[in-house]
Structure 1
Amino acid sequence: MFFASDNSGPALPEVLTALSAANEGYAMGYGADAEMAEVTAKLREIFEAPEAAVYLVATGTTANALALATLSNPWETIFCSHVAHIHEDECNAPEFYTGGAKLTMASAKGEDKMTPDSLRTAIAGEGNRGVHGPQRGPVSITQVTERGTVYTLAELTALCDVAKSFDCPVHLDGARFANAMVALGCSPAEMTWKAGVDAVSFGGTKNGCMGVEAVIFFDPKHAREFELRRKRGGHLFSKHRYLSAQMLGYLKDDAWITAATKANASAAHLAGGLRQIDGVEFMHPPQANMIFASLPRATHKRLFAAGASYHLWGAELDGADDTELLPARLVCDWSIEQDQIHKFLDLAAG
């Protein structure tokens, strides 16, 4: 009953097989390995972007921070939602790697998404004070959002249109890119450059890799700067083939799509069961592989005592009122089995 996070599960067998194969013999370092050439060709094909610049790093924070540093200047501000991963969970890495660019919140407080109106208001509110204030920089969109919801293609396009009207580039934080794409039933191209996205952090770690993310720039003019920033930031791997091999195994035979499809289906099954239990309230509509729901304190105590693993969200288990609803986050990865879900639901139902 492990629903703590999709970065807690095992690696896909396809990834481990690819790593084992890449471990044979010798290979050039620093991205000059033959596997990286295959990764580049494959991702260009998947994204229908034959000129795209493709790079690999080991973590999502690195992918986001270096991509945004490449798209912005230190005197600019990056527009994002209040619950964006770059705002809540990256320890000011974007500010650090950009050399001081700030973050400007472009969503209503408490909302999981930016809207065209909220983004337009935020962008229009900056860049008006000459040299005294931050200049307008990139827009960063988190897809899947940090509350488990998904921007539709129409919503993405509308946000990109607003950004472009101010000449702001757009970055997509796709740590759960595959889960969002499966939920929307669209192509990678439709969820990125066809909607107006300039760069994407294409996640692998949360969907079955050991630790690899791709950074893709649809305009190759950014390639050289990103290469220099990656090296200067200490994120160019010497034995790069082990990043490349993970991504190759992940992409082979659509393993990444299969994994995301299973994770989303498991979350839908879990959410469907929770809806049948009295006292359960959903904080956000579960649209991919992440659920935010409130359960009575007594239910949480029962689940934790039986070995369930998940996160309470801004709440403490200790307390006298066992009927009080405590919010929780539950995440399904590709490896979750139906018997784990059924056991969890049986315990939750009491």
Structure 2
Amino acid sequence: MSLICYRALLWNPGWQPCSVFSSLSSILAFSLETRGALLYKQAAMQNLNEPKIAKGPFLVGDILLLGAACFICWRSALPLGVGPALLVAACVAAGALLAITPYLLQYRLLSRLAETDALTSVVAQIQNLEAIAGRIAGATAQWQTVQEQSDKTAAGAKAIAERMAGEVRAFTEFMERANDSEKATLRLEVEKLRRAENDWLQVLVRTLDHVYALSAGAQRSGLPNVIAQVSNFQNACREAARRVGLAPFAPQEAEPFDGQRHQLVEPDVKAGPDALVGEILATGYTYQGRLLRPALVRLRNGHSENPPASANEKPDPAQNLLPLGQQSQVAPG
């Protein structure tokens, strides 16, 4: 703060005495802040026997030095020379130092008193070490007793843990055996259900094949009433089968041959690239969206890669008989 006042005096040619007093008020404010900090430290040590230092002489000296600085500023010519400015700065700095000196001395004394009190408490605690040592010895004896009891408890707990581990192993083995037996039983039941499903699917497919053969015979008879009645009967049977997931499908005549959905009745004949379906001998079936059996068809003449058999040759029995009920095993769901 003294340096700030000194620079204001040197670099401000148009200074007035009021500016000097404002600088002095700033210095006094700084002194009050310093005193407030020291008073806070004193409040933290108020339980000690505080030494009393007379602050009156220091305050009087502070006021005299500040008055001397004001007098020098008032009596000197403007602007201040180097000498008067140095005197003013020295007076202000000395006044500030003199103002805080008693508080600094009192703070040092309080710090030493605090250290002395701490040392006194340490000495009192050292004097109680013998009693503490006796208590430690008693606690050590009790600790040994507790240690023995804890060893016995740990041994008992270990035995219980071993027995529990044996019980857990036995229970785990029992559960594994029961699980294996249950899995075997369930596997057997699933196999039985699959065989039963294959059996009733075979019966149902064979029945629908016979119904289709009956419908084809009605179509060849040319009687409208018979055709209508047999067609209604076939539709009713197919609707009943569709409710359990069995859906028949039949290709159209002149439809391109598809090796995935169509099957030739002649086993030795291979379909050409542009082969067309000529005759439908049996419908195909899908079960729950999976292909169960392809449709049995015969190609149109001229669309097979192998030449047809001559009239003198005896045809294969497989070409004369309609393989009704032919199907593949149902894939497991």
TM-score by length of 2: 0.18
Relative contact order, higher structure (CA 8 A, sep 6+): 1
TM-score by length of 1: 0.17
Which of structures 1 and 2 has the bigger CA Rg? 2
Structure with more of its chain in helix, by fraction: 2
